[in-house]
Structure 1
């Protein structure tokens, strides 16, 4: 029986809570995926981000790194449906 990963990302801000919307297409935004098997990948280009979000499953952890004013901010992608719609 396969073991599925579970993540506690409660300390992270959610992409859905970003005022004015999250800049999914931004060149400085990187998406990081940890799938249920533990495989880690990243997406920096719009086409890569679109593909990652399209194939992401409910057990995958998707993070978005976006530079803040003084440091790199990391967000939990908490609404895959909305993210997919925004990147299209």
Structure 2
């Protein structure tokens, strides 16, 4: 039986679900797993085939990742404003320390961020990478973050390594 087509599922395919497991089958028969840029580049070059196992209610389903462009956008390998948010440009960032911050010795500090350039954060990982490159910030991506909207726009609550904010 042939695997199902991920492309046929369109944008509804759970590319980034925690329960989706990727399998890469190399031309030489080796089997590996992962979702990094190198996996994508090998698949695009025809050096390997990429599959995903997606657990269903009663059984798991095997899918051929036959739309590598959609896969790359979902995993942030290719930028997709609809999925990950901020466009790839230098952001006009305004920030201030959160008012509830109580431990000045903590390596991380809560900050409130607004983007005057009109961008919206959809993926903290993407925004963190952009801020690391643009401002040298070390944004914590393993903790929660949030947003609130008002007449002035959207404000995002993030945690950032305190020392990186001086850069």
After TM superposition, the score normalised by the length of structure 2 is 0.40
**Deviation at residue 55 of structure 1 after TM alignment:** 3.5
Q: Which has the larger radius of gyration?
A: 2
| 1:24 is the counterpart of 2:15 | yes
- Size of the aligned set, in residue pairs, is 74
In 1, the alpha carbon distance for the partners of 2:74 and 2:33 equals 18
**Normalized against structure 1, the TM-score is what?**
0.71
Unaligned runs of 5+ in 1: 1-9, 44-48
Cα 1:50–1:21, aligned 2, differ >3 Å: closer, same or farther?
farther
Instruction: Provide structure 2 residue ranges, at least 5 long, that are not aligned to the other structure.
Output: 77-167
Give the ranges of 4+ consecutive aligned residues of structure 1 lying more than 4 Å apart after TM superposition: none
Aligned ranges 1:2-81 → 2 under 5 Å: 11-18=2-9, 20-43=11-34, 49-51=35-37, 52-56=39-43, 57-81=45-69
